[in-house]
Structure 1
Amino acid sequence: MVRWALSRISDLLLALLLAALVLWFLLTQPVFPRSADALLLPLQPETLEADLKHLMSIHDNDPDDQVRLKAILDYLYLALSGTGVVDIVERGNGQKLLNVKVGKDSSRKLFVVFHYVVTEKPMLEAAELASSLIALCRSLMAEDGAEMQLNLSIFIHPYQGLSAGLLNASLYHAESIQARFGEGDWLLVFAPGFRLPDALYASEQWKYFSLLQPRSSDELALFGRMADTLRLRQLKVALGKAGIRDTESLNIPTSFGDISESALKIYWDRQLPAILTRPDILVHDKNFDGHIRFVSALYLLLDKGI
């Protein structure tokens, strides 16, 4: 009898272990890193540094929030003009939107949303991402045969009323792309400086998966919904081939009730497979090698397709 009970307990523990492994695999989608080095763009660290320093210096030259916001908008517009179709949308409560389209309209699309928050002190993470995206657009400008078209939307937010502004911006963007979002299109969301993923998906479920959260030491962290598991894995494989060595991810089940309205929920409720992206590769970079690898990886995704 004791032997039978021990056997059943062993079977139960083994079943629980297997179930835990399956759940871990579904939630984190581990992929084996590729050792081969991808082709890097011939970007100059000095150019990346110049854009970064200028964006950071705006806070020193302009103490007023709205003046800083307009100065950032003007610099981004000037830097991105000529790379593609660029337009500015004036929105309520001081929020600005800069849309950039690079590539052929007939191509599949990579939608990139960048929430740039203008704070009292300069936010290094936002300036680093902005300088990287400027370099990406400039590089794509010379490429006529890219597989995918870049649709970049930069929302520049004043710090006052940020929570409402983030929701309004996400709703505006989701509704603007919903009708034209194709099966082969992709959507990446960047929000540097925010506490991620909590700030963009207000769910208490994150705490249950705290041990599975991507670490800040990873080069790239991706957050998606469980329904997009295969899509997120496809992106991780493509990023590995494009030279990102360490990409971690977490898929969150979205079938729980009583979830507050949030930026990612707005996209997911409209069946838009938004993937929240945290490029820690930029934060840990001291000599712009990581910036160049990050820009080169995005370039390869657009050039060859995901």
Structure 2
Amino acid sequence: MVRWALSRISDLLLALLLAALVLWFLLTQPVFPHAGKVQLLPLKPETLAADLKQLTSIHDNDPDDQVRLKAILDYLYLALSGTGVVDVVGRGNGQKLLTVKVGKDSSRKLFMVFHYVVTETPMLEAAELASTLIALCRSLTADSGAEMQLNLSIFIHPYQGLSAGLLNASLYHAESIQGRFGEGDWLLVFAPGFRLPDALYASEQWRYFSLLLPRSSDELALFGRMTDALRLRQLKVAFGKAGIRDTESLNVPTSFGGMPESALKVYWDRQLPAILARPDILIKDKNFDGHIRFVSALYLLLDKGI
């Protein structure tokens, strides 16, 4: 009897272990690192440093929030003009939207959303990402024959009323792309400086997955919904082949009722497979090697396709 009970307990523990491994695999989608060498874009660190310095110095020159916001908008518009089709849209509560489209309309599309928050002191993470996206757009050409078209939307937010502004911006963007989002298109969301993923998906579920959350030491962290697990895995493999060596991810189940509205939920409710990206590769990168590798990776994704 004792032997039988021990045998059943062993079987149960083994089943629980296997179930835990399957759940871990589904949630994190581990991939093997790509060992091949990737050709980097010939970007100059001093050019990236100049854009970064200009964006952070705006806070020193302009003490007023709205003046700072307009100065950042003007700088981004000037830096991105000539890279593609650039447009500015004024929105309520002081929010501005800058859109950039580079590539052929007939190509598959990579939609990228960047939430740039104008704070009293420079938000370095936002300026770092802005400088890399400027470099990316400058590296692309409209007639290059790239596999994918870049559709970049930069929402510039005042700090006041940020929660409502973030939700309204996401709703506006989701509704604007819903009718033209194709099966082979992709959507990446960037919100540097926010506490991620909590700030963009207000859910108590994250505390259950705290041990599985990507670390800040990873080069790139990706967050998606369980429905898009295979798609997220495909993106991780593509980033690995494009030179990002350490990409971690987490898929979260979303089929729970009573969830509060949040930026990612706005997309997911409309069946748009938004993936939240946190490029920690840009943090503490004084020689800009990480910046160059990240820009080169995004360029390869657009050029070769995901």
Pick the TM interval, shorter chain.
over 0.9
Match of residue 173 from structure 1:
173
State the partner residue of 2:220. Answer: 220
Is contact 2:222-2:275 (8 Å) kept? Answer: yes
Equivalent position of 2:148 in the other structure: 148
Deviation digits for residues 217-241 of structure 1 (CA, Å, limit 9, x no counterpart): 0000000000000000000000000
Deviation at 1:284, TM superposition (A): 3.1
Aligned to 2:113, the other structure's residue is in SS state strand
User: Could you tell which deviates more after superposition, 5-14 or 254-263?
Assistant: 254-263
Q: Indicate the residue corresponding to 2:270 in structure 1.
A: 270
Partner of 2:280: 280
Partner of 1:115: 115
Residue 186 of structure 2: aligned partner: 186
Which range is displaced more, 255-264 or 227-236? 255-264
Q: Aligned pair count? A: 306
Q: Which residue of 2 aligns with 1:106?
A: 106
Amino acid at match of 1:84: G
1:257 Cα deviation after fit: 1.7
Structure 1 match to 2:17: 17
Question: Which residue of structure 2 lines up, in the alignment, with residue 51 of structure 1?
Answer: 51
- Following the alignment from structure 1 to structure 2, what is the Cα–Cα distance between the partners of residues 117 and 286? 23
- How far did 1:36 drift? 1.6
> What's the counterpart of residue 294 of structure 1?
294
In the TM superposition, what is the alpha-carbon distance from 1:143 to its structure 2 partner?
A: 5.7
Q: Which amino acid aligns with 2:144?
A: D
Partner of 1:130: 130
Instruction: For 2:69 and 2:227, locate their aligned partners in 1 and report how far apart those are by CA, in whole Å.
Output: 37
Q: How big is each residue's C-alpha offset from its partner over 1:160-217, in whole Å with a ceiling of 9 and x where there is no partner? A: 0000000000000000000000000000000000000000000000000000000000
Aligned position for 1:198: 198
Report Cα offsets for 1:74-131 as digits up to 9, x if no partner. 0000000000000000000000000000000000000000000000000000000000
SS of structure 1 residue aligned to 2:127: helix
**TM-score where L is the length of structure 2:** 0.99
Distance in 1 (alpha carbons) for counterparts of 2:38 and 2:30: 20
SS of equivalent to 2:36? coil
Distance in 1 (CA, whole Å) between partners of 2:57 and 2:146 is 34
CA distance in 2 between counterparts of 1:212 and 1:176 reads 33
The amino acid that maps onto 2:184 is G
Instruction: Report the Cα offset of residue 286 of structure 1.
Output: 1.6
2-structure distance, mates of 1:34, 1:303: 18
Task: State the one-letter code of the partner of 1:149.
Answer: Q
User: What secondary structure, in the 3-state scheme, does the structure 2 residue paired with 1:52 have?
Assistant: helix
CA distance in 2, matches of 1:125, 1:263: 19
Cα deviation, residue 141, structure 1:
2.2
SS in 2 for 1:149: strand
Cα separation, 2, equivalents of 1:225 and 1:286: 34
1:245 paired residue number: 245
Residue aligned with 1:167, SS: helix
- Specify the code of the residue in structure 1 equivalent to 2:255: S
Q: Which runs of 4+ in 1 moved over 4 A?
A: none
Which residue identity does 2:218 align to in structure 1? D
2:108 and 2:143 map into 1 onto residues whose CA distance is 15
Q: How big is the alpha-carbon RMSD for the aligned residues of Structure 1 and Structure 2?
A: 0.7
Alpha-carbon distance between aligned partners in 2 of 1:196 and 1:257, rounded to the nearest angstrom: 22
Structure 1 gap segments, 5+ residues each: none
Asked if the contact 2:38/2:242 (under 8 Å) is kept, the reply is yes
2: CA distance, partners of 1:208 / 1:104: 43
Quote the Cα distance in structure 1 between the aligned partners of 2:284 and 2:143: 29
Structure 1 residue matching 2:140: 3-state secondary structure? helix
Deviation at 1:142, TM superposition (A): 6.8
User: How is 1:6-85 mapped onto 2 (pairs within 5 angstroms)?
Assistant: 6-85=6-85
Contact 2:147 2:305 in 1 (8 A): yes
TM-score, reference length from structure 1? 0.99
How many angstroms apart in 2 are the aligned matches of 1:176 and 1:52?
A: 30
| Residue identity in the other structure for 1:55 | L
